[in-house]
Amino acid sequence: MPAHTRSTLRGPLRPASVALCLGMGFALCIPQPARPQANPGASPWPQQPPATANGLPGAPQLTLESLPRPAAPPIERLPVVPAQVERWRNEARAFELGDGYPRDPLRAAELYCRAARHGDAESQYSLGWMYANGRGIERDDAAAAHLFAAAAEQGLQQAQNLAARMGTPMGDPPPCLRPPADDLLLARAAPPAAAPPAGRPQRPGAPAGRLPPPPLPPNATPQVVSFVNLVAPEYKLEPYLVLAIIATESNFDPLALSPKRAQGLMQLIPETAARFGVRNAMDPAQNIRGGMAYLRWLLAYFEGDVMLAAAAYNAGEGAVERYRGVPPYAETRNYVRKVLQLVQFRMSHAYDGSVTPPSQLSALIRERMKAPS
């Protein structure tokens, strides 16, 4: 969100104000009215009601700790499309500012939360600001740190500045950043596996049966398809999954180059290329081999979970572990959805357990996927 929009949202500090700076060592302030000079014989402030027997004033006191806390986001019964996420964000902003709606910070926070969970960086930033400043909701510096970090990881400059001041978030991400229930809906959309041929035992780690391969992705070139069909078995990969990753990464453009320095058909960044022994990432054969080596490693690390492996190929395995599932990045969520569509929602894949030990969080992630929050 442009900086001028945020400054309009939050309001300027007036000369006749003092700033209340909120914890964590960063300069997030909300304006407080300056106390007027006392006039002899008259108090400039309304008189407080007499204290009750327990020493407290008779009227309720409003403090940051007494402010309401937004409810956890509801379970979405249908997959959420980007247009719905944008509507939530716009409606949240209107409730936050009282623009066309009665001002309702709690309702704004709940709508920002729903949009943040589906990867909307602006909603993550706005909700983080509300938590950090106790803006109509209970202050929560830990939740704010996680939300600023998620928005910063998606490239939002304002969030990057605040995340740098707050440091690495501690503890589990808040509910507004946990994988939403429609990830489970995608998993349930997987087609039933076919029974294995009679007399042929199922290999360890393989799905319960085999289905005919999905159609080739659009723009798949015969040369790339032939090479993948030939080489993928060396890496114990199904060619259709490799082709789905290539289609989503580069649309079969061998010269593809991203702003993040990802190169070639499988969009290897220099660090990943070096990690898997690729000397020339612009050489199509080396690029595909390096990408397949990484994909094989990810499938072993996440024990054959195609959704998690695809998310990690796009965002990194660290982000998948940190968020206990598909990270709350709009790009990654769209990426995973496209890959799953191309493989016709085959959610599991055989994997080579000798490549790497599994993630220590794999079991926890699977349990959370079974019980959406």
CA-wise closest residue to 307 among 183, 204, 193: 183
Under DSSP, the state recorded for 192 is: P
Query: DSSP of 306-358, one letter per residue?
Result: HHHHHHHHHH-HHHHHHTTSS-S-HHHHHHHHHHHHHTTT--B----TTSSPP
Rounded to a whole number, what is the distance in angstroms from the first to the last CA of the chain? 29
Distance of CA 293 to the CA centre of its chain: 25
Catalytically annotated residues? 249
Burial 99-113, CB ≥16 within 10 A → b, else e = eeeeebbbbbbbbbb
Strands 17-22 and 28-33: antiparallel
- Residue 22 sits at φ, ψ, to 5 deg, of -100, 145
List of residues 6+ apart from 7 with CB closer than 8 A: none
Note whether 142 and 169 are within 8 A (CB): yes
Counting other chains too, the contacts that 188-191 makes at CB distance below 8 Å and 24 or more residues apart are 189/345, 190/345, 190/346, 190/347, 191/344, 191/345, 191/346
Angstrom distance (rounded) from CA 321 to CA 64:
33
Any idea what the Cα angle at residue 322 is, between residues 317 and 326, rounded to 5°? 65
